[in-house]
Amino acid sequence: MRQYQAVEETGMSINKKIRHIENTIVLSPSFKQAIAMIRECHERSKLTTEPKCMLLIGNTGYGKTTIANHYVGQYARVVSKDGTTVPVFYSMIPSNATIKGLACRLLEDLGDPLYDRGTTINMTSRLCRLIKECKVELIILDEFQHLIDRDSDRVLRSTADWLKDVLNRTKVPIVLMGMPNANSILTVNPQLMRRFANICELKAFNWNPVKERDDFLRFLIMIEKATFFPQPSILHSNEIALRIFCATKGVVSYIKKLISKAAEIAYVKNLDRVTTEALALAYNDELALSNTMSNPFLVDHENLNIPSLEQSFHNSSDAARHGGKRRVAEILRR
The whole-number pLDDT of residue 293 equals 79
User: Domains in the chain, please, with CATH?
Assistant: 6-25+205-333 (no CATH), 29-201 (3.40.50.300)
The whole-number pLDDT of residue 306 equals 76
The whole-number pLDDT of residue 11 equals 65
The whole-number pLDDT of residue 312 equals 36
Q: Which long-range contacts (CB under 8 A, 24 or more apart) does 15-24 make?
A: 17/227, 17/228, 17/263, 17/267, 18/260, 18/263, 18/264, 20/226, 20/228, 21/223, 21/226, 21/227, 21/256, 21/259, 21/260, 21/263, 22/256, 22/260, 24/222, 24/223, 24/226, 24/256
Give CA–CA dist 325/334, Å, rounded: 15
pLDDT in tens, the chain (334 residues): 333 344 444 568 999 999 999 999 998 999 999 999 999 999 999 898 899 999 999 999 999 999 999 999 999 999 998 889 999 999 999 998 999 999 999 999 999 999 999 999 999 999 999 999 999 999 999 999 999 887 777 888 899 999 999 999 999 999 999 999 998 898 888 888 899 999 999 999 999 889 999 999 999 999 999 998 999 999 999 999 999 999 999 999 999 999 999 999 999 999 999 999 999 999 999 998 877 778 999 998 888 877 554 433 333 334 333 444 445 555 555 5
The whole-number pLDDT of residue 327 equals 54
The whole-number pLDDT of residue 151 equals 74
The whole-number pLDDT of residue 233 equals 95
pTM of the model: 0.85
In three-state secondary structure terms, 85 is strand
The whole-number pLDDT of residue 303 equals 82
